[in-house]
Amino acid sequence: MSAPFDPYRPLDPSTLDPLRPGHAPRSTTGMVTLAVVGGLGALLALVGALTSGAGGALVALGLTLLVLGLGSVLVGRSGWALLASRRLGGGVLAAGLVLLVVGGNLLPTPEPVPAAALTAPSPSATPTSTAAPTTPVDPVVALVAGASDGSALAALGTLEVKGRAPRTGYDRDVFGQAWADVDRNGCDTRNDVLARDLTAATVKPGTQGCLVLSGTLADPYTATTIAFVRGEGTSEAVQVDHVVALSDAWQKGAQGWDLTTRTAFANDPLNLLATDGPTNAAKGDGDAATWLPPSRAFRCAYVARQVSVKARYGLWVTDAERVAVAGVLSGCADEAVVTDAVALGEGAAHQQAAREADARAVAAQRSATTTRAPAPAPTTQAAPVRTTPAAAPVAPPAAAPGGVYYKSCTEARAAGAAPVRRGQPGYSSRLDRDGDGIGCE
């Protein structure tokens, strides 16, 4: 049986409740923790004072008290911080808030940054130009600006750039007679070009070296070799191409020319090349923006010749054409303009030799006629007088098979019948000047 409680008996420390506040001695660990927290608070206050003055120190101290008070309110007590109740912790929390507000008001206000300073370059940055923005440089203009004198690129820069005019009114006849003898050498332009561009060419005797019968073409468009033989079904293997097509010229300035200028343009050797027939047909009237030779090795020379022709005659180019030509010439900037396309080749030499041989034969015939001895005088018997009958009227050319007759190649082309071949309706020898069996070619 336990002894009765004596209120006057001394207390035994071992019977005290360690959880009741105020009865247990403060532990060493709590003192250390309080010292660490206090030291951190003091350090924060020092840093705040150095960086922001008194306001920074008060803010740091307020944050420290705020943490201590908040911890005491949540836990109930913080013996290590000398806070024995929630009420005391709330007071510490309120003091921390007050210090935060006061310190925040004491913090220095940052000066507003001028708008100009926001865009100003840093001292280490490379200074930039303040000039007004310029229009981007046209790459073609930049390419032409660096071109050397006499080059096709430099000539391209002289051509006017405009849109394509309507094709209305175009017809082959607006460029005069096809393959006219504009140089008055006795040969039509087609045979002149064949003689210039073919090698091992042969010409028909008695034609003053004009009619080319055969030869070999090193075709620039396809980089192939083509055997040319004049005749029905074979002549078309080699055609003479207008490098700047007549229709293209019509839409880019030729409409304003007179007939003499158009005829000269259509027969200018600078604008003519003997080429593979099917390839020429595929080209049609395309310019450099829509057609280039299959042989890439010839494209620089091809567009240089187009530029040369357009510069000579004042034709313009479209913007797409200008870009296409510049794109080709960018890989061969030193490609020169073409100024002389009539230099004699092997074929032309054959033509010239045949012409000279024909001239010698005619001269010899005339010489024999003038040196012939006069006929002996008649004897006493007078020669009978002969009456020369009147010349019979010349009948018009017989109508071709089928009853079709064309007065000229112009009429045949207007009817859509050109070229007219031997044996076809409308063919006659007067339409076939070179006698190859193909009229109005």
User: What DSSP assignment string belongs to 229-271?
Assistant: E-STTTGGGEEEEESS-HHHHHTTTGGGS-HHHHHHHHT-GGG
Spell out a b/e string for 58-93, using b for 16 or more CB atoms within 10 Å of the CB, else e. Answer: bbbbbbbbbbbbebbbeeebbbbbebeebebbebbb
Q: How confident is the model at residue 31 (pLDDT cuts 50, 70, 90)?
A: low
> Please, are residues 70 and 64 in contact by the beta-carbon 8 Å criterion?
no
- Give, in order, the Cα–Cα distances in Å from 25 to each of 18, 22, 79, 82, 221: 9, 8, 10, 12, 112
Q: What's the burial of 431, exposed, middle or buried (CB within 10 Å: 0-12/13-18/19+)? A: buried
- Per-domain residue ranges for the chain? 33-106, 143-187+204-342, 398-441
> Please, are residues 413 and 406 in contact by the beta-carbon 8 Å criterion?
no
Q: How confident is the model at residue 99 (pLDDT cuts 50, 70, 90)?
A: confident
Statement: residue 277 has pLDDT above 70: yes
What value does the mean pLDDT take over residues 296-322? 97
* DSSP letter assigned to residue 171: -
> Please, are residues 144 and 154 in contact by the beta-carbon 8 Å criterion?
yes
Low-confidence winner among 157-171, 263-277, 345-359 (lowest mean pLDDT): 345-359
Looking at this protein, which amino acid is placed at residue 26? R
Identify the pLDDT of residue 394.
Answer: 41
Q: How confident is the model at residue 400 (pLDDT cuts 50, 70, 90)?
A: very low
Higher pLDDT, 284 or 64: 284
Looking at this protein, which amino acid is placed at residue 125? A
- Euclidean distance between CA atoms 409 and 415, whole angstroms: 10
Statement: residue 76 has pLDDT above 70: no
- Percent of the residues in the chain that have a pLDDT greater than 70, as a whole number: 64
Q: Enumerate the H helices of 107-234 as residue ranges.
A: 115-119, 139-145, 152-156, 189-197
- Give, in order, the Cα–Cα distances in Å from 268 to each of 180, 181, 332: 10, 11, 26
Q: Any idea which residue has 């409740």 for tokens?
A: 17
Average pLDDT, the chain: 77
What value does the mean pLDDT take over residues 87-108? 74
Question: Of 248, 270, 305, which is closest to residue 189 (Cα–Cα)?
Answer: 270
Identify the pLDDT of residue 425.
Answer: 78
Question: Of 281, 275, 282, which is closest to residue 305 (Cα–Cα)?
Answer: 275
Looking at this protein, which amino acid is placed at residue 244? V
Statement: residue 54 has pLDDT above 90: no
Structure tokens at 27: 């532990």
Higher pLDDT, 25 or 148: 148
- Euclidean distance between CA atoms 382 and 386, whole angstroms: 12
Statement: residue 435 has pLDDT above 80: no
Element (H, E) at 218: strand 212-219
Identify the pLDDT of residue 401.
Answer: 47
Identify the pLDDT of residue 132.
Answer: 61
Spell out a b/e string for 39-56, using b for 16 or more CB atoms within 10 Å of the CB, else e. Answer: eebeebbeebbeebeebb
DSSP string, 52-99: HHHHHHHHHHHHHHHHHHHHHHHHS-BGGGTB-SHHHHHHHHHHHHHH
Residues 6+ apart with CB under 8 A from 66: 93, 96, 97, 100
Statement: residue 13 has pLDDT above 70: no
What value does the mean pLDDT take over residues 90-107? 75
